[in-house]
Every structure is written in structure tokens, then in C-alpha cells.
Amino acid sequence: MKINILTLYPEMFPGFLAYSLAGKALSEKKVELNVVNIRDFATDNYKSVDDTPFGGGAGMVMKPSVLDSAIQAVYKTGPLYYLSPRGEVFNQQKAHEFALSEEMTFLCGRFEGVDERVIEKWGIKEISIGDFILSGGEPALLTMLDSVIRLIPNVMGNKDSSLEESFENGLLEYPQYTKPQNWEGRLVPEVLLSGHHAKINAWRLAQSEAITQQRRPDLWTRYLAQKKN
């Protein structure tokens, strides 16, 4: 997969993506990060990339001419996304969709955002990692890509390990235990020592359902609706 990243802070990449599964995928060329500095496309002596907003208001807005030139130079094919708190919220389903792409392009905003006309011209989709504000799109993109890269075929060693993670079946993951069996008087549930796989699976499902119902009522409601269908 080739990932084009338009940013004012190219030094933020690959960041923590240089480690663990993502780092292995990058070193093995399963993923290529093409990080492009938006400021390189500024045309004045000051390398200006922003200006004051029409209509007044605090902050600055990224200029359409600079952004347009940067996108033209980089974007060839595949999805084009702008990291924005206005966007569709990223989730595990989206991570799986992104992992199947051969090429993607992401625009990281700063300041008060980007000129709307650039979004309109290029048909850029907006995407968010949650209902909170960050200083820019870069931290959000790093988090998103960590989720996506691990799902790219042949990146994760054990394919089955992702199937039982939180959100994969609409539920939060069940509790996990390892040795020793008795730790500070706290025992591993007996069912996990039984070797009875049907009982273990039933216990894990019951635990996942209970945890989801308690901690994420929104997911629980959706899960029940899917079961009815």
C-alpha cells in the first residue's frame, strides 16, 4: 500500500509507526509512506500557507492555492481524505476497508482548517477519530494508520488474533489471563483450564456481552439489532 501524506510537519512521520507491526511492514516495503511538505508549494518569499478568514473570527485558514498545488502534485488515484472533526468517525470497519486500498492520500489540516473550496473541488472526504479537538491532523492520522497497517494482508503474523479483538464482532473483547494460575490470591477462571473449547467460547461470549452492555450501551444496542436480523 502507498500512503501519501500532505502535512506542514513531515518530521512527525513515521513517528511511532516505525515500531512494532507497522515498523515491520514499512521495513519490508509492504507499506510506503510518501510524506509531502505542504509548505513546499507556497509561492511567496515567506512560504505562507495560511491567511485570515473571510467574515472574521479567530485563527487562520490554510490557503486554497497552496493546497491545490500540493494535491495536484501528489494525488493520482484511490481515496482522498482530510482529517477533520467534522468527518465521519473512523472505526474498525473503516480500518478493514482502508487496509484493502492500494493507494490512499491524506491531508492533515492545521490552524482553523482548510478553505472549503479545495474540499469541494477535489471531492475530499472528511474523517475523524472522535469527538474531540487536536492541534492538527497528524496525531489523528498516525493513530488511524496504526489501526489500518496491522490489517494489511500478511502484516500480522497470526491472522486469527485480529478476529477476536474488540469491535470485530460488534462487542468489546473478553478478559485475558496468562500464567501463573494463582497470582496474589486471584485465580484464573476454572472454565479456561477445562480444555472444553465449547464451554470456553460460551464463557468468552458471555463476558464480551456483559462488558459491552455495561461499558458501551451504544455498541450493545447495535449488537442486539444485528442479532435480530
Packing angle of the helix pair 92-99, 137-149 (nearest 10 deg): 70
Report domain extents, the chain.
Answer: 2-149, 164-228
**Regarding the domain with residue range 164-228, which homologous superfamily does it belong to in the CATH classification?**
tRNA(m1g37)methyltransferase, domain 2 (1.10.1270.20)
User: How many CA atoms lie within 13 Å of 166's alpha carbon, on the beta-carbon side?
Assistant: 13
Q: Kindly report, residue by residue over 180-192, the tens digit of the pLDDT.
A: 999 999 999 999 9
Q: Kindly report, residue by residue over 165-218, the tens digit of the pLDDT.
A: 557 788 999 999 999 999 999 999 999 999 999 999 999 999 999 999 999 999
Q: ω before 175 within 30° of 0 (cis)?
A: no
**Cβ burial 187-209 (10 Å sphere, 16+ → b, else e):** eeeeebeeeeeeebeebbeebbb
What is the rounded distance in angstroms from the CA atom of residue 219 to the CA atom of residue 212?
7
The hierarchical CATH code for the domain 2-149 is 3.40.1280.10
What is the rounded distance in angstroms from the CA atom of residue 155 to the CA atom of residue 150?
6
pLDDT under 50: residue ranges of the chain: 160
Give the pLDDT of residue 156.
86
